[in-house]
């Protein structure tokens, strides 16, 4: 199972260091063997050694250069980072990254062998148009993406479920994951309002290989509880 925390624009560097240290202690004390990924804010990156994999929420498709406000491969390498989140709905819909931008970024970091967590998911108005339209929309988010890339992880995150406290039904998650599994053999995470109260049920579903957690992951004890659930469920699955 893969348990990932997207910290978004939260937690300073000092807070993030404490946060990651607490997770490391938890993994050690409880002999957890799950894969744990944490995506801190850009200025909270630090050198880190341990079981937790630190990734970036974004970087530009460049080694370095004139791209004001962006960071590139050189900056990631300084912190030993080899994991990147690409296609998150907030970058698609708030920042305005297009599928072409994402493909360019994907290919750049793929060529460097990075682990890529690639996010897909539909907005509410698309979902309301029915299953067929919804799958068409999500399929377009796979365009140009090497779905058989060995270091790829896909996260299905319905836009309307992110940060809203609303989730699809468990049956809907199973149905969509089944369809998405046909598009790529990569591990498939569910994300969007995963909390301690629903994580166990979501993790236990067929076709769910882990979770990507935003708001609820800001509480380190909640995030650790979800890691513990994953460990329990992995043993049962």
- With respect to ligand PGA, which residue has the nearer C-beta, 73 or 189? 189
What is the nearest approach in angstroms of ligand PGA to the Cβ of residue 39? 9
Residue 136 is among the residues annotated as catalytic for this protein: no
Residue number closest to ligand PGA, CB atom? 214
Q: Kindly state whether residue 215 participates in binding ligand PGA, applying the rule CB under 6 A.
A: yes
Residue 233 makes contact with ligand PGA by CB under 6 A? no
- Interface with ligand PGA, residue 212, by CB under 6 A: yes
Site string for ligand PGA, 188-207 (x = CB under 6 A): ---xxxx-------------
Minimum CB distance to ligand PGA smaller for 72 or for 163: 163
Q: What is the 3-state secondary structure (H, E, C) of the chain?
A: CEEEEECCCCCCHHHHHHHHHHHHHHHHHCCCCCEEEEECCHHHCCCCCCCCEECECCCCCCCCCCCCCCCCHHHHHHCCCCEEEECCHHHHHHHCCCHHHHHHHHHHHHHCCCEEEEEECCCHHHHCCCHHHHHHHHHHCCCCCCCCCCCEEEEECCHHHCCCCCCCCHHHHHHHHHHHHCCCCCCEEEECCCCHHHHHHHHCCCCCCEEEECHHHHCHHHHHHHHHHHHHHHHHC
88 a catalytic residue:
yes
Indicate the residue among 149 and 160 with the shorter CB distance to ligand PGA: 160
Is residue 83 within the footprint of ligand PGA (CB under 6 A)? no
Mark residues 145-184: x for contact with ligand PGA by CB under 6 A, - for none. ------------x----xx---------------------
Catalytic residue numbers read: 88, 157
Query: Rule CB under 6 A: which residues touch ligand PGA?
Result: 6, 157, 162-163, 191-194, 212-216
């Amino acid at each position: 199972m893969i348990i990932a925390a997207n910290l978004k624009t939260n937690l300073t560097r000092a807070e993030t260091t404490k946060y990651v240290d607490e997770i490391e202690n938890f993994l050690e004390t409880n002999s957890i063997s799950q894969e744990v990924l944490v995506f801190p804010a850009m200025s909270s990156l630090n050198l880190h050694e341990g079981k937790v994999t630190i990734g970036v929420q974004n970087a530009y498709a460049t080694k370095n250069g004139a791209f004001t406000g962006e960071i590139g491969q050189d900056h990631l390498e300084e912190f030993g980072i080899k994991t990147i989140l690409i296609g998150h709905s907030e970058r698609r819909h708030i920042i305005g990254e297009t599928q072409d931008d994402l493909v360019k970024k994907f290919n750049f970091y793929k060529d460097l062998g990075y682990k890529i967590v690639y996010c897909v998911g539909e907005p509410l108005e698309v979902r309301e148009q029915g299953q067929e339209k919804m799958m068409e929309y999500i399929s377009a988010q796979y365009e140009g993406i090497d779905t058989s890339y060995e270091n790829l992880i896909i996260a299905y995150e319905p836009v309307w479920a992110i940060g809203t406290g609303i989730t699809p039904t468990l049956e809907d998650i199973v149905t969509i994951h089944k369809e998405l599994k046909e598009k790529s053999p990569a591990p498939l995470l569910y994300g969007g309002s995963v909390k301690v109260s629903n994580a166990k049920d979501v993790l236990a579903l067929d076709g769910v290989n882990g979770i990507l957690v935003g708001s609820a992951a800001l509480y380190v004890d909640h995030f650790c509880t979800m890691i513990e659930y994953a460990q329990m469920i992995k043993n049962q699955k």
